[in-house]
Amino acid sequence: MIFVDTGAWFASVVTWDANHAAAAAWLSQNQDRLFTTDYVVDETLTLLRVRKEPARALMLGDQLFAQRLADLCFLQESDVREAWEVFRKFADKDWSFTDCTSKVIIERLGLTTAFTFDQHFRQFGTVQVVP
């Protein structure tokens, strides 16, 4: 399974995004199952709406919640509490709280690859970043 982060979802549906071509090309050749979290979905849909892409937000949200694009994990209270500890421990990093929840889930599930354009994932030191 490959973890998918906000920037990758955004770039995959927004043609004017600088990473759209790379995201589309990578998705077209990928054959592995994709995986994301409710926190990433929240962040992605909010970003789409704020960046004046409400129709794309609705379309992507429908697909993600129907799990047509990826397996969707809903964080448990223990995941959120652990993410808070990561957020506190790595206060020297510019990681968003959603990044911290992603780190927790990636490590708990033993995922080794993340589809993202967010360089923070490289700082985790536990995943290979694609594309």
Mean pLDDT across 94-115: 97
pLDDT band of 48, cuts 50, 70, 90: very high
pLDDT band of 12, cuts 50, 70, 90: very high
- Please report how many Cα atoms fall inside a 13 Å half-sphere around the Cα of residue 54, on the Cβ side: 0
Mean pLDDT across 23-40: 97
pLDDT at 129: 97
pLDDT at 115: 98
Scanning the chain, the segments in alpha helix (DSSP H) are 6-13, 20-29, 38-50, 54-65, 77-89, 97-109, 120-124
Contact 19, 7 (CB under 8 A): yes
Closest-CA residue to 71 (of 108, 38, 101): 38
pLDDT tens, 62-101? 999 999 999 999 999 999 999 999 999 999 999 999 999 9
CA distances from 75 to 40, 44, 122 (A): 11, 16, 22
Percent of the chain with pLDDT over 90: 100
pLDDT at 69: 97
pLDDT at 131: 95
Side chain identity at 18, as an amino acid letter? A
pLDDT at 117: 97
Contacts within 8 Å (CB) and 24+ apart, 48-54? 48/10, 48/13, 48/14, 51/10, 51/14, 53/13, 53/14
Side chain identity at 66, as an amino acid letter? A
Chain-wide mean pLDDT for the chain? 97
Domains of the chain: 2-130 (3.40.50.1010)
Look up tokens 């959120």; give the residue: 80
